[in-house]
Amino acid sequence: MASPCRAFAAVLPAEVDRGLEVRPVGRDRASHRLRELQVTGTAEVCCPADRASLRVGVSSSKESLSEATSSVSRRLEYILQALRQHSIREEDTSVRRFVHRHAEQYCMDAEVKVTFSDFEKMERVCSVLLEKLDKSVCVGTPQFYHSAECLSQMRQRACVSAVENAQQKAGKVCQLLGQSLGSPLNVKEEETKEWRTEEEEDEGRRQRFHFPHVPTITASSQVSASFSLRDRSRKKLS
């Protein structure tokens, strides 16, 4: 009589959570099956604007060109001196001048554009100019923006945080399964997103104080990572 035989079959579910998957990846020299743990990790990083562009303008209308030029030059020199006193670098400052004639008068306009990374220093400069030059100077509303360096660092932080989250997830799964997490086999950034948000303020407060909005950019990153699995009991025996 033929000896009885037994057959085992496993049916995998039709839908598998893509965030976690364990599968065999090969055999080692001792014919022990190696296993791979696949996980995904996501992270978001928010970053407010780190730069502000401020425009300061002066103008004069006189019957002679020399008088108009002299009037503007005196105020322009005071503006540049105030910037130097606040340690504003020359490369962060640019000056434009424009002369034209209107009716019987010569008009001269000058504009100083300053880039600030220290917003408190910018407020101090604005206060000094408005106090000393009063109505003879026009201080514009600062325009906030993100520098290229700031955006690059934000994207890197989002990706690194996503990888860290994936590794933490894999470590917790290993503890649950009684396994030991091995070395990473593959890490890939699957998707990145960025969106801009405005600072939320009370509408009445904004109208009373005329506070400019400081924009914030959020970067998100999603990565997939695979790690090798090692049996803890086998590790102890070895």
Neighbours of 178 (CB within 10 A): 9
The predicted pLDDT at position 231 comes to 72
Pair (116, 128) in one structural domain:
yes
3-class secondary-structure state, position 64 = coil
Q: What pLDDT digit, counting tens, does each position of 69-80 carry?
A: 999 999 999 999
Neighbours of 205 (CB within 10 A): 9
Pair (104, 72) in one structural domain:
yes
Q: Between the CA of residue 172 and those of 49, 61, 175, 180, what are the distances in Å?
A: 36, 74, 5, 10
The predicted pLDDT at position 30 comes to 44
What confidence tier does 16 reach under pLDDT thresholds 50, 70, 90?
Answer: very low
Whether the predicted pLDDT of 12 surpasses 50: no
Higher pLDDT, 204 or 54: 54
Q: What average pLDDT does range 197-223 have in this prediction?
A: 74
Closest to 54 measured CA to CA, from 25, 27, 79, 81: 79
- Which percentage of the chain shows pLDDT scores above 70? 77
Q: Report the predicted TM-score, pTM, of the whole model to 2 decimal places.
A: 0.74
The predicted pLDDT at position 20 comes to 54
The predicted pLDDT at position 210 comes to 63
Pair (168, 195) in one structural domain:
yes
Count structural domains, the chain: 2
The predicted pLDDT at position 31 comes to 41
* Cα within 13 Å of Cα(48), Cβ side: 10
Question: Last residue of some domain: 144, 166, 181?
Answer: 144
- The stretches of 86-118 forming alpha helices (DSSP H) are none
Q: Is residue 6 part of a domain?
A: no
Q: Between the CA of residue 193 and those of 9, 155, 200, 219, 221, what are the distances in Å?
A: 43, 9, 21, 6, 7
Range of the structural domain that residue 187 is part of: 34-50+146-199+209-233
What confidence tier does 35 reach under pLDDT thresholds 50, 70, 90?
Answer: confident
3-class secondary-structure state, position 170 = helix
Q: How far is CA 93 from the centre of its chain?
A: 24
Higher pLDDT, 93 or 204: 93
Q: What average pLDDT does range 1-27 have in this prediction?
A: 42
Pair (106, 152) in one structural domain:
no
Q: Is residue 135 part of a domain?
A: yes
The predicted pLDDT at position 9 comes to 29
Q: Is residue 13 part of a domain?
A: no
Question: Last residue of some domain: 144, 159, 175?
Answer: 144
Closest to 227 measured CA to CA, from 168, 169, 182, 163: 182
Pair (60, 46) in one structural domain:
no
Whether 54 and 88 have beta carbons less than 8 Å apart is answered as no
Q: What average pLDDT does range 124-147 have in this prediction?
A: 94
Q: What is the CATH number of the domain that holds 91?
A: 3.30.70
The predicted pLDDT at position 122 comes to 96
Q: What is the CATH number of the domain that holds 226?
A: 3.30.110.170
From the CA atom positions of the chain, what is the Rg in Å? 32
